[in-house]
Amino acid sequence: MPSRGTLSVAVVGTGKMGADHVRRIQRVISGARVTAVVDLDEERAEALAATMDGCRAYTEPVAAMAAPDVDAVLIASPGPAHEAALLEALDRDLPVLCEKPLTPDAASALRVLEAERRLGHRRIQVGFMRRYDAEYAELKRLLDGGELGRALMLHHRHRNPSMPPWFTNEMLINDSVVHEMDVTRWLLGQEITAVTVLKPAPSSYAPEGMDDPQLVLFETESGALVDVEIFGHCGNGYQVRAEAVCERGTVRIGDEGGPRVSADGRWGGRVTPDYLERFADAYDRQVQAWVDATRRGEVTGPSVWDGYAAAAVCEAGVSAQREGRRVEVEMIERPAFYA
């Protein structure tokens, strides 16, 4: 089936995550544009819409979804607002990307699930974005590949420098550990069957009444054991790590240096096979930077002077290579034009 044209997206919720998704759709990725933004705060929605050609502001998701120029919905509003928006989108058979949590509790999630089943085809993707992280993807590939045998244990570390003051003990589970719940289920291809939470004496930097850090234990259908260190106020950077302990080796991600496998008496990682992989991001950023500057009417990046200088040094280099001696580079003086 051929691709449709550019996808017209309504972004529901224009807080930190919503605004970031708007930026992403408009400035980073290809094939979509934002044609509607929705926020209870009308002014905020209007202000954001005004930065984009052909984008309208709404205060109600239902109104945005009814607009003729909306093909799909990205929900980034607070969790309690998700159920209504999701049901509305299913009613209209619109594709949805819904920030996690799907809904704040299992009962409401079940209502959404039933609605999608009644519709008869999947329309909703949940925003568990770790599945799109290169290292988690590599870990999944290694586990699925089977060379390391079955995964027996997972050790997760999830550390934040600090948490906002309104963060609660429950939110450590619902907003933070929920990511480890999802990647555990995804990595192992199994459901979690029981949970235990252990609380050491809290850090003196944890807010009054918060048990921080905690060690959360999961058991899974086939008996794998999973521990999650969740630390909300580690006072250092943001650290997300995982180690899979398998029958024939271990894999660690989130450390410095990419996935690290330990097996067969060796530890280490993969050497990037070629320049297109090694510099994939650089190529993408280069062309994006060129497009962005050009659209602003500007020229940035390496100039003709840089191209000329490289050519002059290459000529000296090839002479030096041929003649086996030191060769001085000959160049014109740098024109003020390229200063």
Closest separation in Å from C-beta 23 to its own copies: 10
Q: Furthest-apart CA pair in the chain: how many Å?
A: 79
Determine if 80 is a binding residue for its own copies (CB under 8 A).
no
CA–CA dist 136, 134 (Å, integer): 6
Residue of 28, 40, 50, 67 interacting with its own copies (CB under 8 A): 28
The number of C-alpha atoms within 13 Å of 232 and in the hemisphere containing its C-beta is 25
Span 172-201, contacts to its own copies by CB under 8 A: 172-174, 177-178, 181-182, 185-186, 191-201
User: Residue 204, interface with its own copies (CB under 8 A)?
Assistant: yes
Task: Report if residue 262 touches its own copies, rule: CB under 8 A.
Answer: yes
Binds its own copies by CB under 8 A, chosen from 144, 145, 238, 339: 238
Among 87, 161, 209, 253, binds its own copies (CB under 8 A): 161
The tokens describing 43, both together, are: 């002014």
Secondary structure string (H, E, C) spanning 123-174: CEEECCHHHHCHHHHHHHHHHHHCCCCCEEEEEEEEECCCCCCCCCHHHHHH
Residue 85 dihedral angles phi and psi, to the nearest 5°: -65, -40
> Measured from the CB of residue 85, what is the shortest distance to its own copies in angstroms?
13
Torsion of CA 156, 160, 161, 163, to 10 degrees: -150
The window from 36-44, 58-66, 139-147, 275-283 that contacts its own copies (CB under 8 A) reads 275-283
Q: How far is the CB of 239 from its own copies (least distance, A)?
A: 6
Kindly state whether residue 59 participates in binding its own copies, applying the rule CB under 8 A.
Answer: no
Residue 144 binds its own copies (CB under 8 A)? no
Strands 96-98 and 124-126: parallel
Residue among 44 and 131 whose Cβ is closer to its own copies: 131
214 near its own copies, judged by CB under 8 A: yes
